Amino acid sequence: MTDLFPMFMKLTGRPCLVVGAGRVGEPKIGGLIDTGASIHVVAIAGSEQVREWGREGKIDLELRAFSKHDLDGKFLAVVATNSPSLNQLIYREAQQRGVLCNVVDVPELCDFYYPAVVRRGDLQIAISTAGQSPSLAQKIRQQLERQFGEGYAAWVKQLGETRRLILASDLDKETKLELLHSLASREAFEAAVAKMPELTAKGKGA
């Protein structure tokens, strides 16, 4: 398999299509909502949560059969139907249009994969096995969740604020780099946990 290029992509405002709105499609739609993407969902039927998102205006939901024109102008597409023939059709149509496509749980019909993700505020750690073993990716995620406890969320936010102050200071470049590296150490995290009440209770799992 060709080596994958790992990256974090901004989807705010980008037109995205999801085909399928049931048990499999719902979490994919929810993940896209969090990115601020412009989401068009097409499905014969939708879960209650997906229909609620439609009523709230978070997604453009159409309860009907897929049309190949649904892909026109889209940046990426996520396919979550239980029809292998429809999945293949959508993937072929997406390829013809240059639309990035992910057919859920079918690695050979994917231009990109959903990684297992550890989220601690602005800190995100993504794990992928290129679709070879999602179970292994989940196990590694669980290990990392124990290693990087909830306290990291507040600490990373604090680091960002401190970084901006250091970069805006009159210190020379070398001193700035030394400070930034020292602030990102394990020792600095433990010191922050000891000083900040909101981290003390959460940081023990880190």
Please give the average per-residue pLDDT across 112-137, as a whole number: 89
| 53-89 residues labelled b (16+ CB within 10 A) or e (exposed) | bbeeebbebbeeebeeebbeebbbbbbbbeeeebbee
The topology (CATH level 3) of 1-113 is: Rossmann fold (3.40.50)
Is it the case that residue 109 has pLDDT exceeding 90?
Answer: yes
Residue 200 has pLDDT above 60, yes or no: no
On whether the CB atoms of residues 152 and 206 are closer than 8 A, the answer is: yes
pTM value is: 0.78
Q: What is the pLDDT of residue 134?
A: 85
Report the CATH fold assignment for 115-147.
Double Stranded RNA Binding Domain (3.30.160)
Q: What number is the average pLDDT over the span 57-84?
A: 97
Q: Using 50, 70 and 90 to split pLDDT, how confident is the model at 198?
A: low
Which one has a higher pLDDT value, 107 or 1?
Answer: 107
Calculate mean pLDDT across residues 139-144: 96
Locate CATH 3.30.160 in the chain: 115-147
pLDDT, tens digit, for every residue of 8-27?
Answer: 999 999 999 999 999 999 99
Q: Quick check: 202 pLDDT over 80?
A: no
Tokens 């879960």 sit on residue: 47
Where do you find CATH 3.40.50.720 in the chain? 1-113
pLDDT tens digits, 78-97: 999 999 999 999 999 999 99
Higher per-residue pLDDT: 188 or 56: 56
